[in-house]
Amino acid sequence: MHFVADKDRDVIEQFTEIANHESSAVTLERMASTSLLLPSTNVFLMHFFGDWAKEMLSPIIEAITPGTKVLDSKIGVRADQFRNPSFVLSLDGPPQENSGRVLAGSLEWSGSFQCAFDDNGESIRALCGVNPFESAYHLKSGETFMTPRMLWAWSTNGLGEMSRNLHKWARDYGIRDGHTVRTVLLNNWEATGLDFDFNRIVSLYDPAKGIGTELFLLDDGWFGNKYPRVNDHAGLGDWQPNRSRLPDGLAPMAREAVKRGLRFGIWMEPEMVNPKSELFERHMDWVISQPKREMELQRNQMVLDLTRPAVQAFEWRSIQSILSVPDISFAKWDCNRYLTQPGSSYLATDRQSHLWIDYIHALYALMNKTAKTFPNTELMLCSGGGGRVDYGALKYFHEFWPSDNTDPTLRVPMQWDYSYFFPPMAICGHVTHWGNRPMHFACSVAMSVRFGMDLDLNTLSVEDRAICAGAVSAYKQVRDLTQLGDLYRLEDPHGNYRAAINYVSEDLKRGVMFTFQLQGGPQAPVHPQGLDPKANYTLHELNPAPGRATIPQEGKTFTGAQLMDDGIVPSCAKAVEASVVELHP
């Protein structure tokens, strides 16, 4: 049993090493990462259920009662789609933000998992790790099996302190380049979908630069020739630029972005293949499937069998060829389906149960090789939304895509719930037209995490474009706070008319407060937290909404104690309005 302790943050990683010193093989039926014992008095569990476009939207808080409560996933590849392998145990009744003993658990594993809580009336055992379902693992004499790491974070002062400790740990150990602020991104997906060519994409660059964005991400649709990627039925696996759309490949497109002072990024989905592809025609046996069963497609695609060495080599060649294109410095790694018919034509009959585990090990090896070979390439972790949000994969990435649902009224609670476990700098928030919300509200919500946009700037009204430009400028003033500062969750969006959070710099000299009005309600003060009670702070509303008065305390100076006691009156009162207030010396 291994423990890796960060004593300053009350964070511990735990994992198990199983070595076979017998003369013959043994079979592991269960290989948990942790088996933690807790007292059974007044313990509550907070966990999260969701689906595509509903990730982390349904926090469930319930008492652990005698018997066994199981949180699990059996879908193998994007195992987090319906349930995130992160939870909170509260030892003093329902968890509170600023009081009580809480223990967060997060399994560092992207495959099928199981977290079981067994209450025998005297104690609770938390048994967490790889899901034992159909995962028997044969260990030869002399071999060693290492379980995934289980991450634990403890606090005696509630969820807020727990999260801040986890965020600091994550910036040091859980994500890549956790002390480097992220740039502002513009994605083309909402603007063009799969319908574009070289000139269409390049036409988006000048408007992007004009409002201050720093990175352009070319999404799905740039590849495939015999079976061009003009819809999601074809092309996956054929990672060559489409000659009709991009006759000279990716390099000229990337070069044109760099000429304008923009970095250039690319979308890829290396684990997947469409049956309508040259790759599938050549290697039908490379997909995960079961013999004598009709192939079941999701999003018209299949999963390549990463336990097969030839597939590992192919995927690496594909990634290497894409990321070696000059001027590509960002990549979005997607995964748009999970397993329903697990079977490998490469693994022996008595090793089929190894698929669930060996796939993830091969995936991590591929991700690790990508991160090490391209250390200056920023990587976004995506899985058709939040289907793969865990620290097992995140250690190779800079950020993750929380959900394909970008309606800002839903992103507010999503971002709130993700922030229990993951630092805001890793949570991608993009401004889109989903939900048809006011542009100022959408920008304010996205500004509170890793800010990006997914818009056709050429079609925006003059007013909306000015709002976007103002949001980008404002974000650059405070992104060191939102990405590297301490987060304080102030007003919970679940079931309330508004939500509020604030960030404070490490030296306590600066802060920024976000208020999101979800419904109409009283314009009551919001009470920030974490400020230096004796320090002076001057208030300034960033990028105020057009035609609306700024905050009543605009330009005035108060001590931290006054602000925490008396609060800040935001400028928003109607539904889908927002206010962003900077607190500076």
Strand pairing partners for 25?
none
- Cβ 363 vs Cβ 314: under 8 Å: no
Closest CA to 355 of 144, 131, 21, 140: 131
Instruction: For 452-471, give the DSSP string.
Output: EE---GGGS-HHHHHHHHHH
User: Residue with structure tokens 């604030």?
Assistant: 502
Helix (H, G, I), strand (E, B) or coil at 139: strand
Q: How far apart are CA 309 and CA 530, in angstroms?
A: 52
Helix (H, G, I), strand (E, B) or coil at 395: coil
Element spanning 503, H or E = strand 498-504
334 carries an active-site annotation: yes
C-alpha 12: how far from its chain's center? 21
Helix (H, G, I), strand (E, B) or coil at 272: strand
Residue among 51, 92, 232, 404 flagged as catalytic: 404
- Buried b / exposed e over 198-234, threshold 16 CB at 10 Å, is beebbebbebbbebebbbbbbbbbbbbeebbbeebbb
User: Residue with structure tokens 């972005």?
Assistant: 257
Helix (H, G, I), strand (E, B) or coil at 566: helix
Closest CA to 255 of 314, 176, 325, 180: 325
Residue type, 238: D
Q: How far apart are CA 357 and CA 147, in angstroms?
A: 10
404 carries an active-site annotation: yes
Q: How far apart are CA 172 and CA 480, in angstroms?
A: 16
C-alpha 44: how far from its chain's center? 26
Residue among 80, 334, 407, 464 flagged as catalytic: 334
Q: How far apart are CA 178 and CA 394, in angstroms?
A: 11
Task: Determine how β-strand 32-39 pairs with β-strand 399-400.
Answer: unpaired
Token pair for residue 438?
């006011």
Show which residues are catalytic. 334, 404
